[in-house]
């Protein structure tokens, strides 16, 4: 166990050398998630190897990767759109509840916004993502996914119009 007062030292862009450690965090973090089928590393590697990473970040503490977040492009009516998807996001269980996940999400959203993106979508816990401004948008959920957990964060007061689709790597989960 780590000491409660030890702070995460850095949120930085993911590098190729971080892949194994970031995947290990995904495995540990999702092991206790009820709806997980344990395929998050297949998704992450599919994004990395398939040109599906718009932005990737790791949280580093004491020289170890303790958090991971990827952002991938979303298509609207089959075309790249300026919309992006947040996730997977994971924090090592020993480091959860200390603000690491929030730091990762805030950094990703700030950097994404700075690129001129239209906005971001996410599928996840509304209680967690709502605090970053994500709005429940069940009517926009891509086919086959749970509408109750689908949220949108527009950066420019414009909502996506059309059929949204995640990168094909998401088919793995």
Ligand X SMILES: CC(C)(COP(=O)(O)OP(=O)(O)OC[C@H]1O[C@@H](n2cnc3c(N)ncnc32)[C@H](O)[C@@H]1OP(=O)(O)O)[C@@H](O)C(=O)NCCC(=O)NCCS
Contact residues for ligand X (CB under 6 A)? 29-30, 33, 87, 89-91, 96-102, 124-125, 127-128
Which one, 4 or 78, has the nearer CB to ligand X? 4
Cβ 88 to ligand X shortest distance, Å: 6
- The answer to whether residues 67 and 92 touch, using CB atoms and an 8 Å cutoff, is yes
Token output for 173: 């989960």
Cβ 160 to ligand X shortest distance, Å: 19
Which one, 130 or 162, has the nearer CB to ligand X? 130
Cβ 8 to ligand X shortest distance, Å: 9
SS3 99: coil
Residue 130 host element (H or E):
none
Strands 119-123 and 79-91 turn out to be parallel
Closest CA to 89 of 100, 80, 98: 100
DSSP per-residue letters across 41-92: HHHHHHHHHTT--SEEEEEEETTEEEEEEEEEEEEETTEEEEEEEEEEEEE-
Which one, 25 or 165, has the nearer CB to ligand X? 25
Cβ 138 to ligand X shortest distance, Å: 16
Which one, 53 or 66, has the nearer CB to ligand X? 66
* Residue whose Cβ sits closest to ligand X: 101
Which one, 7 or 80, has the nearer CB to ligand X? 7
SS3 136: strand
Cβ 50 to ligand X shortest distance, Å: 20
């Amino acid at each position: 166990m780590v000491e409660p007062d030890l702070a995460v030292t850095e949120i930085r862009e993911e590098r190729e050398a971080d892949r194994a450690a970031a995947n290990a965090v995904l495995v540990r973090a999702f092991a206790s998630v009820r709806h997980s089928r344990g395929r998050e590393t297949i998704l992450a590697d599919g994004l990395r190897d398939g040109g599906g990473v718009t932005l990737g970040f790791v949280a580093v503490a004491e020289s170890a990767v303790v958090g991971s977040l990827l952002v991938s492009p979303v298509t609207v009516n089959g075309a790249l759109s300026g919309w992006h998807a947040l996730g997977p996001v994971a924090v090592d269980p020993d480091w959860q509840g200390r603000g690491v996940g929030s730091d990762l999400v805030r950094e990703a959203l700030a950097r994404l916004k700075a690129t001129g993106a239209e906005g971001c979508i996410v599928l996840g816990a509304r209680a967690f993502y709502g605090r970053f401004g994500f709005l429940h948008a069940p009517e926009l959920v891509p086919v086959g996914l749970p509408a109750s957990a689908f949220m949108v964060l527009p950066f420019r007061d414009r909502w996506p119009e059309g059929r949204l689709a995640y990168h094909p790597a998401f088919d793995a989960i």
